[in-house]
Amino acid sequence: MRAPSRLALYAAGLLVAFGGAYGLAGVIVPDSAVEPWRAESRHDGHEDGRAEGDAMNGDEQKAHGADGAGAHDHPADGGAPPEGIRPAAEPRYAVGAAVRLTADHMPGMDGAEATVSGAFETTTYSVTYTPTTGGDPVIDHRWVVHEELDHPGPAPLAPGAEAVLLAEHMPGMRGATATVVSATQETVYMVDLTTDEMTMTNHKWVVESEMRPAD
């Protein structure tokens, strides 16, 4: 037999041998067993690295942005004073005066500088109530004024008296039944203030004994 013919037959034999081996491998090692190897290979090669990175960025955004609007539930703008409240005739701190707060109603409030945005003569109460939205009672909340109570009767209400709140200083406050803890006849103020935790306008309320002239 000539050399070219022998080479052709040899090549054909190799093709048959390799084809048979490939088919036998498919029977002995099925695709279902091979696929986990492929998946592991893709993982080791960081084929899914972008998706994992995107998920990590999302978690970081949640961690940094969970309380981005501020750490307290008071609105940034407390709004207008309640209807019927009487402006103070000669307040110690006039509207526009700079004051230093000594109240600690909220984080960062004690020692903060503020600007008076309203001064009023009324009865002011510390109250305890359970929010209409549920959750634990709010104890000794300072402050609400007499005009923020629903048909309370003559002022002042005595400690232990109950009244329905019309104030909306925080979620779940309006419509809640409150118990009076204490009352004061001091001049009461709305203030604008900025701290590391918040910026607020017309914050309600701060009584006169919780303020001093700004340095």
Mean pLDDT of 171-191: 98
Secondary structure tally for the chain: helices H, strands E:
3, 10
Query: Encoding tokens for residue 55?
Result: 């998920």
**Residue-wise pLDDT tens digits, 126-166:** 999 999 999 999 999 999 999 999 999 999 999 999 999 99
How many other C-beta atoms lie within 10 A of the C-beta of residue 189?
27
Distance CA 70, CA 115 (A): 20
Beta bridge partners of 178: 129, 163
Confidence of residue 169 (pLDDT cuts 50, 70, 90): very high
The verdict on whether omega for the bond into residue 36 sits within 30 degrees of 0, i.e. cis, is no
The DSSP string of 97-129 is -EEEE---SSTT-TT-EEEEEEEEES-EEEEEE
pLDDT greater than 50 at residue 68: no
pLDDT greater than 50 at residue 168: yes
Query: Would you state the pLDDT for residue 77?
Result: 84
